[in-house]
Structure 1
Amino acid sequence: MFTMIPGLLLSAALTLTGIQPSSPTPHPTPTATSAEEVKTVNAQYEPVAAPYPPAVQSALSKVRKSGGHTIVRANGKSYVVIGAGQRPTGGYQLVADQVKRTGPHGFTVSVHVKAPAPGSMKIQVISYPTLVIALPDQQAQVTVQMR
């Protein structure tokens, strides 16, 4: 009788805490990846500050006021030049959230416009937030997602 007491106490404790004793856990069965599926992984990139290569500077002047993006291939890299267009005050920034590799030469760049903090002092000038990043692949096919 005394040998059953520890087992009963253990069962009671497990029942009270909601833990199921030694229930089998289902394991997912690995599935074969089709050739059409592409695994996305974070990609290496380099934020680029001025002075820019001449081709990048030219693209930046085109994208700066109108907004949008363009790709410049120079110096063995692909430069992604992104502009947010005109903003009413200073303090706006373009921020790269994520750069993912989606294929052998495919990249997706996710960016957002960071507004100045509410209530903060802002310079009263029209601004044109821009961002330039360099990808190590000169043949990069880039998709830019702006939110």
Structure 2
Amino acid sequence: MFTMFPGLLLSAALTLTGVHPMPTPHPTPTVAPAEEVAPVDAQYEAVAAPYPPAVQDALSKVRKTGGHTVVRAKGKSYVVIGAGQRPTGGYQLVADQVKRTGPHGFTVSVHVKAPAPGAMKIQVISYPTLVIALPDQQAQVTVQMR
């Protein structure tokens, strides 16, 4: 009886916080991007896994070190952005604005959203990432991270 209690307590805590016991291969937003993104003047979409192979390769390169890269695949330009290592779960990269600056020019503004103070966080090192697809395969992208 007493040996089941810690497992039940852990299950209840995970259920209440919405944390899954198995980590997902890529952190996905818990809120639809439209709710956190400021009004934009360029078409784009935040992309979730599964990714094209070239995007997956780029993601594995920027995940731990941070930074960004642009991958051209399937008629689109994928902007792959990594925030680098964070001490706990709960961190997210959020697109603030995507602006068209020329015929093939785009500026993507993103910020790292930290977990709320006092919130329960999974005690695991995390690597927040974001993949944005632009409809222009020739896109010249500038990323502004704050």
TM-score (norm 2): 0.73
> Superposition pairs for residues 67-146 of structure 1, below 5 Å?
67-146=66-145
Distance in 2, matches of 1:63 and 1:101, equals 24
SS at match of 2:136: coil
- Corresponding position of 1:44: 43
- Corresponding position of 1:15: none
Deviation at 1:42, TM superposition (A): 1.1
Distance in 1, matches of 2:119 and 2:71, equals 36
SS at match of 2:56: helix
Residue by residue, what CA displacement relative to the aligned partner does 1:51-88 show, whole Å, maximum 9, x if unpaired?
00000000000000000000000000000000000000
Distance in 2, matches of 1:145 and 1:47, equals 16
Identical columns (%):
93
Residue by residue, what CA displacement relative to the aligned partner does 1:78-114 show, whole Å, maximum 9, x if unpaired?
0000000000000000000000000000000000000
Instruction: Figure out how many residues of one structure are paired with residues of the other and give that number.
Output: 107
Distance in 1, matches of 2:71 and 2:88, equals 29
Ranges of 4+ aligned residues in structure 1 off by more than 2 Å: none
- Corresponding position of 1:65: 64
Larger radius of gyration: 1
SS at match of 1:107: strand
Aligned-partner residue type, residue 132 of structure 1: V
Structure 2 unaligned blocks of 5 or more: 1-39
TM-score (norm 1): 0.72
